[in-house]
Amino acid sequence: MRDKTKKESPKKEKIFLTQSYFKYPLPEEMLRELAEELKDINLYPSGGDYTELRQVLAKYVGVKIENILPTNGSDEVIEIVSRAFKGEVLIPIPTFSQYEASADRGGLSKILVNCLHDGEYTINYSAQQLKSASLIWICNPNNPTGTRIPREKIIDILQRAEGIVVVDECNYEYLGETIVDLIDKYENLIISRSFSKNYGLAGLRLGFAISNLQNIKKLAAFGQHFSVNRIAEKSAAKVLKYLDYYQEVWEKMKKLRDKFVWQINELGFSAYDSQANFVLVEFKDKKKTERVWKYLKEKGIYTLAGWENEFSGLGDQFIRFTIGEEWEMDKVVEVLFDYVKRN
């Protein structure tokens, strides 16, 4: 029987391991159901308050409907918190570039805190920084290192911070750990989630914020009316019907990822253990990194290097690989094996 979680492997196709989107087939029945919604796109999304969508998301997450704000991708959560909580923002680098980009647009004053020392990513905000910042970022697991941030660490930051702490959980489904249960305990906690990475809806743009009613109201006031389109609005309930399928894919991806980390280390490079759908690899210096990156590109394999502006504070000696299909990862390892033999 055909494995539905596998794409047919067109061996000559270029391999894109750049953006960390979902690289597996989407359930065909779900796509058919979504397509049926097209006939209603003359209508606005339901009333603008997204009651049904918020009900679906609240049930999925295990909170009340009042704790949810649907957004145009989780990028919109990043954008509106940066408008709503002006002042000083703490950004734990290397990390996702949009915290910085939104801070710039919002006119916040940025403090980039280096959290990567000797191959270990640990969030190390000082007491003074936590006192003076209005907005504090934690990306869990962190992009691009893939590092899990321990729950105790997040609680410690929540307790010591004077400002709002936003925990970006856009890769929650791969990590399998959340702090959603803490939204009533810590009034300064906002969580952001996404349907892009784990459910394959990056092109539809569906994300959401989770927090207490007061914070949700404040964020809503800074967001745009009707920011989630009608098809995206309908998509959450539809994809969640296929949870079993997605769980199967996530498990498969995790196995491929862990095998890839092992293989890269066996080749003599240095791969970071990851809890997301990408792996960060460190090379000796920029020159060596460029050689590997170009060699991969010549063979039709596209990856993200540290100098490509996708991340804040990532050095030039790094390349991030998104985890794709098995044949794609096999091809990457084969090309890198070849590279090592020649150099």
Which residues contact ligand PLP (rule: CB under 6 A)? 20, 73-75, 96, 139, 143, 168, 170, 194, 196, 202, 207
Q: C-beta of 206: minimal distance to ligand PLP in Å?
A: 7
| Cβ neighbours, 10 Å, residue 155 | 15
CB of 73 to ligand PLP, least distance (A): 3
Q: Which distant-in-sequence residues (6+ apart) come within 8 Å of 326 by Cβ?
A: 6, 256
User: Cβ 323 to ligand PLP, closest distance in Å?
Assistant: 14
Q: Considering the complex, what minimum distance in angstroms separates the CB of residue 12 from ligand PLP?
A: 28
Report how far apart, in Å, the C-alpha atoms of 16 and of each of 85, 162, 190, 254, 300 are: 36, 42, 33, 18, 8
Q: Tell the smallest beta-carbon distance from residue 103 to ligand PLP (Å).
A: 14
Between 279 and 335, CB nearer to ligand PLP: 279
Residues 263 and 330: their CA atoms lie apart, in Å, by: 10
Nearest residue (CB) to ligand PLP, 20 versus 275: 20
Given a contact cutoff of 8 angstroms between Cβ atoms, the answer to whether 281 and 255 are in contact is: no
CB of 182 to ligand PLP, least distance (A): 20
* Residue 321 or 331 with smaller CB distance to ligand PLP: 321
Question: Cα–Cα distance between 300 and 101 in angstroms, integer?
Answer: 30
Compare residues 165 and 336 and give the one whose CB is closer to ligand PLP: 165
**Judged by CB, which is closer to ligand PLP: 140, or 215?**
140
Tell how strand 164-168 and strand 189-194 pair up: parallel
Tokens standing for residue 253: 């991806």
Length, in residues, of the chain: 343
Closest CA to 199 of 66, 80, 321, 56: 56
In angstroms, give the least distance from the CB of 257 to ligand PLP.
15
Q: Phi/psi class of residue 288: alpha, beta or left (left: φ > 0; alpha: ψ in -120 to 50)?
A: alpha
Considering the complex, state which of residue 45 and residue 144 has its C-beta at the smaller distance from ligand PLP: 144
Q: Identify which of residues 205 and 331 has a Cβ nearer to ligand PLP in the complex.
A: 205
Residue with the shortest CB distance to ligand PLP:
73
Q: How far is the CB of 284 from ligand PLP (least distance, A)?
A: 26
Q: Is the alpha carbon torsion for 277, 200, 69, 60 positive or negative?
A: negative
Residue 82: burial class (beta carbons within 10 Å; 0-12, 13-18, 19+): buried
The 10 Å Cβ neighbour count of residue 30 is 18
66 vs 297: CA distance, rounded Å: 47
* Residue 256: half-sphere exposure toward Cβ, Cα within 13 Å: 26
Please identify, using beta-carbon distances, which residue of 196 and 235 lies nearer to ligand PLP.
196
Which C-beta is closer to ligand PLP: that of 139 or that of 336?
139
Beta carbon of residue 194, minimum distance to ligand PLP (angstroms, whole number)? 3
